[in-house]
Amino acid sequence: MSTSLPLSFCRFRGTSTATRAPFLASVKCSSLPSSISYSLIPFQPLQLFRSTAKTMSRSFSCVFYSLKTKAMAELGQDKKEYGAADAASNGGGRRPEVEHSRTFLEARSEQELISGIRKEVEAKRLPPTVAAGMEELYQNYRNAVFQSGDPAAAEIALSNMAVAFDCVLLELEDPFVFEPYHKALREPFDYYMFGQNYIRPLVDFRNSYLGNLSFFNEIEEKLKQGHNVVLISNHQSEADPAIIALLLEKTNPFIAENMIYVAGDRVITDPLCKPFSMGRNLICVYSKKHMYDVPEHVEMKRRENTRSLKEMALLLRDGTKIVWIAPSGGRDRPDSLTEEWHPEPFDSSSVDNMRRLIRHSGAAGHIYPLALLCYDIMPPPPKIEKEIGEKRIIAFHGVGLSVAQKICPLETAAACKKSEEVDYVPFTLCF
């Protein structure tokens, strides 16, 4: 007996067939034990996105036009107020105050922004390799925002990139140190909203989908009751946290803002990623896919991962925590021969670790599978790269998100005839 999972993403109108996700189509799971039955609600286009799309487009101009001015004040305040006390309370932070260049915040045009990059290189405040990445990022981001057709695209791209570049420069001047558990920095400068506003113009909300909203509501209700929730998900792009939060910010803002992401070390070391990571709640780990990049660092990475697991265990004891983890340990990539992409296989030990943490937390806990589609907005390099500083391709595109009903590990294990099926079931249920 096969089980049908109607997790079907509708094809985004106006897009190529290459964007169709085979793993998000209706799946016949003949490998699942016959005693397991899952009846899910098909994806629905979120009407909220459609009804507000025109209003959002018109409002972008005034909102983003003033963003840079507000950021100038908040970043200045950030430097004055973010001292040793805040660093201690967050478990990490900046070194004592340093002189900060305002080159990017004072840019009034694209030409001034680009020339500002070169000026900072000449002043030796910006490494040439990072500067090259910034220029490329600006061009790709600007082109993607223009794809939206928004009449304020030029102002949006300039404002967002000016603030982003200023944050990057500040990190190079005065690096932020991430602890195993990092809590999102929301004041005096709100790094969470900075990330949201940066990714928002890249999302085609009229062709975006949120599936199984009732399960997201169920999750939020369990969190209010003091339960813990773990979302086992595929991983598509560096923009995943912002995409998830953008799709849930109207219907489930508590989930959007309180999600804790298990994040690899690259997003907290890459200068172009760090400012965005500072706005998310993170459990910082070393990805298994990069564990052996530098052989002499392997033991250190293992120790740090153990430390991070202990931090997560302490967090779960308090209850009301929602944790996102990608058991694949990396982003989905297209097949090198067919150029079709599919979710990376899950590491069963990662799934089992989360099951154990939930079970021993002392609070009620639940595991839900999550499916995410946002590959086209910011796809990863075709192959895994050891070096920091990947090329970032950006596009304006529709996205999708859905959650399935919770997984009951004991019932699943009891229903499986073979031990390997236990590892396969959570992966299958997601897609």
Q: Which residues are catalytic?
A: 174
Alpha helices in 66-127 (DSSP H): 67-81, 84-90, 110-122
Give the Cα separation of 51 and 390 in Å (integer).
37
Whole-number Cα distances in Å, 65 to 68, 105, 153 = 7, 13, 10
With CA atoms as reference, report the closest residue to 430 among 409, 412, 406: 406
**Contact call for residues 231 and 323 (beta carbons, < 8 A):** yes
Give the Cα separation of 242 and 200 in Å (integer).
8
Structure tokens at 11: 């094809």
With CA atoms as reference, report the closest residue to 406 among 225, 244, 216: 216
Give the Cα separation of 340 and 330 in Å (integer).
17
Sequence letter at residue 98: V
- Beta strands 365-373 and 260-264: pairing type? unpaired
Burial of 319-333, coded b for 16+ CB within 10 Å and e otherwise, reads bbbbbbbbbbbbbbb
Query: For 8, phi and psi rounded to 5 degrees?
Result: -95, 120
**Contact call for residues 371 and 430 (beta carbons, < 8 A):** yes
Other C-beta atoms within 10 Å of 135: how many?
13
Structure tokens at 402: 């859905």
153-173 and 191-199 helices, crossing angle to 10°:
140
